[in-house]
Amino acid sequence: MLILTRKLNESIMIGDVEVKVTSLKGDYVKLGIKAPREVPIHRKEIYDVIQKENIEAAQTKITDISDLSDLFKK
Amino acid sequence: MKLQTTRFGCLEVPEANIIYFPDGLIGFETYKRYVILSKKENAPLRWLQCVDEPELAFIIISPFLFKADYKPLVEKVDLSSLKIKDISEAEILSIVVVPDNPRDMVANLMAPVLINPKICIAKQVITKDNQYPARYRILDSFNQNRESAQVLSC
Protein backbone atom coordinates (compact mmCIF):
# COMPACT_ATOMS: atom_id res chain seq x y z
CA MET A 1 0.00 0.00 0.00
CA LEU A 2 1.31 3.42 -0.96
CA ILE A 3 1.29 5.77 2.03
CA LEU A 4 1.46 9.54 1.57
CA THR A 5 1.54 12.28 4.20
CA ARG A 6 -0.86 15.17 3.59
CA LYS A 7 -1.66 18.33 5.53
CA LEU A 8 -5.04 19.99 5.88
CA ASN A 9 -6.36 21.18 2.48
CA GLU A 10 -3.79 19.17 0.58
CA SER A 11 -4.92 16.61 -2.02
CA ILE A 12 -3.87 13.56 -3.89
CA MET A 13 -4.96 12.57 -7.37
CA ILE A 14 -5.92 8.97 -8.24
CA GLY A 15 -6.30 9.04 -11.99
CA ASP A 16 -8.77 11.89 -12.45
CA VAL A 17 -10.15 11.55 -8.92
CA GLU A 18 -9.08 14.14 -6.36
CA VAL A 19 -9.12 13.29 -2.66
CA LYS A 20 -8.62 16.25 -0.35
CA VAL A 21 -8.21 16.45 3.42
CA THR A 22 -10.84 19.05 4.35
CA SER A 23 -10.83 18.86 8.13
CA LEU A 24 -9.04 17.17 11.03
CA LYS A 25 -10.66 16.74 14.42
CA GLY A 26 -9.26 14.26 16.93
CA ASP A 27 -9.64 10.80 15.41
CA TYR A 28 -11.76 12.09 12.52
CA VAL A 29 -10.49 13.02 9.08
CA LYS A 30 -12.93 14.57 6.63
CA LEU A 31 -12.17 13.85 3.00
CA GLY A 32 -13.49 15.73 0.00
CA ILE A 33 -13.69 13.68 -3.17
CA LYS A 34 -13.95 15.14 -6.65
CA ALA A 35 -14.64 12.40 -9.17
CA PRO A 36 -16.51 11.86 -12.43
CA ARG A 37 -20.17 11.08 -11.79
CA GLU A 38 -19.89 7.49 -12.94
CA VAL A 39 -17.20 6.62 -10.37
CA PRO A 40 -18.91 4.84 -7.46
CA ILE A 41 -17.72 6.03 -4.05
CA HIS A 42 -18.67 4.11 -0.92
CA ARG A 43 -17.53 3.76 2.66
CA LYS A 44 -15.58 0.53 2.61
CA GLU A 45 -17.35 -1.04 5.59
CA ILE A 46 -20.73 -0.63 3.81
CA TYR A 47 -19.36 -2.08 0.60
CA ASP A 48 -17.89 -5.02 2.56
CA VAL A 49 -21.22 -5.75 4.26
CA ILE A 50 -23.05 -5.88 0.94
CA GLN A 51 -20.39 -7.98 -0.72
CA LYS A 52 -20.54 -10.45 2.18
CA GLU A 53 -24.35 -10.66 1.90
CA ASN A 54 -24.17 -11.28 -1.85
CA ILE A 55 -21.57 -14.01 -1.42
CA GLU A 56 -23.65 -15.68 1.27
CA ALA A 57 -26.76 -15.42 -0.92
CA ALA A 58 -24.92 -16.96 -3.88
CA GLN A 59 -23.72 -19.89 -1.77
CA THR A 60 -27.20 -21.15 -1.03
CA LYS A 61 -27.53 -24.90 -1.40
CA ILE A 62 -31.25 -24.57 -2.04
CA THR A 63 -32.45 -25.70 -5.44
CA ASP A 64 -36.21 -25.61 -4.98
CA ILE A 65 -37.85 -22.53 -3.51
CA SER A 66 -41.42 -23.75 -3.93
CA ASP A 67 -41.42 -25.13 -0.37
CA LEU A 68 -40.11 -21.82 0.95
CA SER A 69 -42.91 -19.98 -0.77
CA ASP A 70 -45.31 -21.88 1.47
CA LEU A 71 -43.91 -19.90 4.40
CA PHE A 72 -45.59 -16.86 2.89
CA LYS A 73 -49.02 -18.40 3.19
CA LYS A 74 -51.01 -17.76 6.30
CA MET B 1 -31.49 -18.91 -26.39
CA LYS B 2 -30.37 -21.97 -24.44
CA LEU B 3 -29.46 -21.32 -20.83
CA GLN B 4 -27.34 -23.76 -18.82
CA THR B 5 -28.04 -23.77 -15.09
CA THR B 6 -26.82 -25.98 -12.27
CA ARG B 7 -30.12 -25.95 -10.44
CA PHE B 8 -32.65 -26.12 -13.25
CA GLY B 9 -30.80 -27.89 -16.04
CA CYS B 10 -30.91 -26.52 -19.56
CA LEU B 11 -33.66 -23.96 -20.19
CA GLU B 12 -34.91 -22.14 -23.24
CA VAL B 13 -35.08 -18.42 -22.45
CA PRO B 14 -36.16 -15.62 -24.80
CA GLU B 15 -33.26 -13.20 -25.29
CA ALA B 16 -35.64 -10.33 -24.55
CA ASN B 17 -35.81 -11.58 -20.94
CA ILE B 18 -32.12 -11.03 -20.29
CA ILE B 19 -31.46 -8.28 -17.80
CA TYR B 20 -28.15 -6.51 -18.23
CA PHE B 21 -26.18 -5.34 -15.18
CA PRO B 22 -23.42 -3.07 -16.57
CA ASP B 23 -21.61 -3.15 -13.19
CA GLY B 24 -22.54 -6.71 -12.24
CA LEU B 25 -23.56 -7.36 -8.64
CA ILE B 26 -21.36 -6.17 -5.78
CA GLY B 27 -18.69 -8.84 -5.35
CA PHE B 28 -19.69 -10.41 -8.69
CA GLU B 29 -18.71 -7.59 -11.00
CA THR B 30 -17.68 -9.81 -13.91
CA TYR B 31 -21.14 -11.34 -14.38
CA LYS B 32 -23.42 -8.95 -16.18
CA ARG B 33 -26.32 -10.92 -17.68
CA TYR B 34 -29.14 -12.44 -15.64
CA VAL B 35 -32.66 -13.74 -16.08
CA ILE B 36 -35.44 -13.99 -13.50
CA LEU B 37 -36.77 -17.52 -13.12
CA SER B 38 -39.88 -18.66 -11.35
CA LYS B 39 -42.00 -21.77 -11.49
CA LYS B 40 -45.22 -20.01 -10.62
CA GLU B 41 -46.17 -16.59 -11.86
CA ASN B 42 -46.86 -14.99 -8.49
CA ALA B 43 -44.35 -16.86 -6.34
CA PRO B 44 -42.93 -14.55 -3.65
CA LEU B 45 -39.42 -15.94 -4.05
CA ARG B 46 -37.79 -16.17 -7.43
CA TRP B 47 -34.33 -16.73 -8.85
CA LEU B 48 -31.98 -14.23 -10.37
CA GLN B 49 -30.00 -16.65 -12.51
CA CYS B 50 -26.73 -15.66 -14.13
CA VAL B 51 -26.72 -16.33 -17.87
CA ASP B 52 -22.96 -16.81 -18.12
CA GLU B 53 -22.28 -18.94 -15.01
CA PRO B 54 -24.61 -21.93 -14.53
CA GLU B 55 -23.94 -22.14 -10.80
CA LEU B 56 -24.51 -18.48 -9.96
CA ALA B 57 -28.05 -17.68 -8.85
CA PHE B 58 -29.59 -15.51 -6.16
CA ILE B 59 -32.96 -15.85 -4.47
CA ILE B 60 -34.86 -12.59 -4.85
CA ILE B 61 -38.06 -11.08 -3.49
CA SER B 62 -40.06 -7.91 -3.88
CA PRO B 63 -39.34 -5.94 -0.69
CA PHE B 64 -42.85 -4.49 -0.77
CA LEU B 65 -44.19 -7.92 0.04
CA PHE B 66 -42.97 -7.61 3.61
CA LYS B 67 -42.17 -3.88 3.86
CA ALA B 68 -44.96 -1.93 2.21
CA ASP B 69 -43.46 1.45 3.09
CA TYR B 70 -40.01 0.66 1.72
CA LYS B 71 -38.69 3.85 0.18
CA PRO B 72 -34.95 3.68 -0.43
CA LEU B 73 -33.03 6.88 -1.11
CA VAL B 74 -30.78 6.39 -4.11
CA GLU B 75 -28.03 8.50 -5.66
CA LYS B 76 -29.12 10.44 -8.75
CA VAL B 77 -26.18 9.03 -10.66
CA ASP B 78 -27.53 5.51 -10.05
CA LEU B 79 -30.91 6.50 -11.47
CA SER B 80 -29.36 8.14 -14.50
CA SER B 81 -27.25 5.06 -15.18
CA LEU B 82 -30.55 3.18 -15.43
CA LYS B 83 -31.91 5.95 -17.65
CA ILE B 84 -34.70 6.85 -15.25
CA LYS B 85 -35.49 10.07 -13.42
CA ASP B 86 -37.33 8.71 -10.44
CA ILE B 87 -37.08 5.48 -8.48
CA SER B 88 -40.81 4.91 -9.07
CA GLU B 89 -39.93 4.03 -12.67
CA ALA B 90 -37.80 1.12 -11.47
CA GLU B 91 -38.74 -2.34 -10.37
CA ILE B 92 -37.14 -3.06 -7.03
CA LEU B 93 -35.92 -6.44 -5.82
CA SER B 94 -34.03 -7.57 -2.75
CA ILE B 95 -31.51 -10.38 -2.59
CA VAL B 96 -32.41 -13.01 -0.01
CA VAL B 97 -30.19 -15.13 2.21
CA VAL B 98 -31.87 -18.34 3.36
CA PRO B 99 -30.07 -19.94 6.33
CA ASP B 100 -30.50 -23.54 7.52
CA ASN B 101 -33.73 -22.57 9.21
CA PRO B 102 -35.62 -20.85 6.38
CA ARG B 103 -37.82 -19.02 8.87
CA ASP B 104 -34.77 -16.86 9.59
CA MET B 105 -34.42 -15.74 5.97
CA VAL B 106 -33.24 -12.17 5.51
CA ALA B 107 -33.41 -9.69 2.66
CA ASN B 108 -30.90 -7.01 1.78
CA LEU B 109 -32.77 -3.72 2.01
CA MET B 110 -29.55 -1.71 2.17
CA ALA B 111 -28.57 -2.56 -1.40
CA PRO B 112 -31.63 -3.33 -3.55
CA VAL B 113 -31.52 -4.32 -7.21
CA LEU B 114 -33.17 -1.70 -9.40
CA ILE B 115 -34.37 -2.65 -12.88
CA ASN B 116 -35.50 -0.39 -15.66
CA PRO B 117 -38.05 -2.81 -17.18
CA LYS B 118 -38.33 -0.81 -20.40
CA ILE B 119 -34.74 -1.46 -21.42
CA CYS B 120 -33.93 -4.37 -19.05
CA ILE B 121 -30.93 -2.63 -17.50
CA ALA B 122 -30.32 -3.17 -13.80
CA LYS B 123 -28.02 -2.16 -11.00
CA GLN B 124 -27.49 -3.08 -7.38
CA VAL B 125 -27.48 0.29 -5.64
CA ILE B 126 -26.33 1.23 -2.16
CA THR B 127 -29.02 3.28 -0.48
CA LYS B 128 -28.00 6.72 0.74
CA ASP B 129 -29.43 6.71 4.23
CA ASN B 130 -28.65 4.11 6.86
CA GLN B 131 -32.36 3.58 7.31
CA TYR B 132 -32.44 0.00 6.03
CA PRO B 133 -30.39 -3.01 7.11
CA ALA B 134 -28.55 -5.48 4.91
CA ARG B 135 -30.19 -8.33 6.85
CA TYR B 136 -33.88 -7.59 7.28
CA ARG B 137 -35.87 -10.50 8.68
CA ILE B 138 -38.55 -11.13 6.10
CA LEU B 139 -41.02 -13.37 7.85
CA ASP B 140 -41.24 -11.28 11.03
CA SER B 141 -43.01 -8.51 9.19
CA PHE B 142 -44.53 -10.44 6.30
CA ASN B 143 -47.80 -11.19 7.99
CA GLN B 144 -48.53 -7.53 8.61
CA ASN B 145 -47.98 -6.58 4.97
CA ARG B 146 -49.36 -9.36 2.89
CA GLU B 147 -51.97 -7.19 1.21
CA SER B 148 -49.32 -5.07 -0.46
CA ALA B 149 -47.76 -7.66 -2.76
CA GLN B 150 -46.67 -6.30 -6.11
CA VAL B 151 -46.29 -8.28 -9.27
CA LEU B 152 -43.18 -7.61 -11.30
CA SER B 153 -42.54 -8.11 -14.97
CA CYS B 154 -39.28 -8.18 -16.95
The tens digit of pLDDT for each residue in B51-100 reads: 999 999 999 999 999 999 999 999 998 999 999 999 999 999 999 999 98
To the nearest whole percent, how much of chain B has pLDDT over 90?
Answer: 78
Asked if A51's CB is within 8 angstroms of B146's CB, the reply is: no
What is the pLDDT, as a whole number, of residue A34? 97
d(CA B6, CA B1): 16
User: Virtual CA dihedral for A71, A72, B4, B10, nearest 10 degrees?
Assistant: 80
What is the pLDDT, as a whole number, of residue B19? 98
d(CA A13, CA B68): 44
Q: What is the mean pLDDT of chain A?
A: 92
Asked if A54's CB is within 8 angstroms of B25's CB, the reply is: yes
What is the pLDDT, as a whole number, of residue A74? 58
SS3 B24: coil
For B46, residues 6+ apart whose C-beta sits below 8 A from its C-beta are: A65, B36, B37, B38, B59, B60, B61
Q: Which stretch of DSSP H or E encloses residue A14?
A: strand A11-14
What is the pLDDT, as a whole number, of residue A42? 85
Question: Which pLDDT band holds residue B136 (cuts at 50, 70, 90)?
Answer: very high
Asked if B44's CB is within 8 angstroms of A69's CB, the reply is: yes
* Phi, psi for residue A46 in degrees, rounded to 5: -70, -45
Running DSSP on this structure, what letter comes out for residue B28? B
Q: Which stretch of DSSP H or E encloses residue B136?
A: strand B136-137
Q: Facing residues of B36 across strands?
A: B48
Are B50 and B36 in contact, with CB atoms under 8 Å apart? no
What amino acid is encoded at B82 in this protein? L
Number of Cβ within a 10 Å radius of residue B152: 16
* Of residues A57 and B152, more confidently modeled: A57
Does the pLDDT at position B151 exceed 70? no
The tens digit of pLDDT for each residue in A26-61 reads: 999 999 999 998 787 888 999 999 999 999 999 998
- The tally of CA atoms less than 13 A away on the side-chain side of residue B91 is 20
Q: What is the mean pLDDT of chain B?
A: 91
Residues from chain B that touch A72, judged by Cβ atoms under 8 A, are: 44-45, 65, 139, 142, 146
The tens digit of pLDDT for each residue in A10-30 reads: 999 999 999 999 999 999 999
What is the pLDDT, as a whole number, of residue B143? 63
Q: For B97, which of A42, A56, A63 is closest by C-beta distance?
A: A56
Are A13 and A28 in contact, with CB atoms under 8 Å apart? no
What is the pLDDT, as a whole number, of residue B145? 54
Asked if A56's CB is within 8 angstroms of B110's CB, the reply is: no
What is the pLDDT, as a whole number, of residue B148? 52
Minimal Cα distance from A51: which residue of B?
Answer: B27
What DSSP letter does each residue of B44-112 carry, written as one string?
SEEEEEESS-TT-EEEEE-GGGT-TT------HHHHHHTT-SSGGGSEEEEEEE--SSGGG-EE--SS-
What is the pLDDT, as a whole number, of residue B146? 53
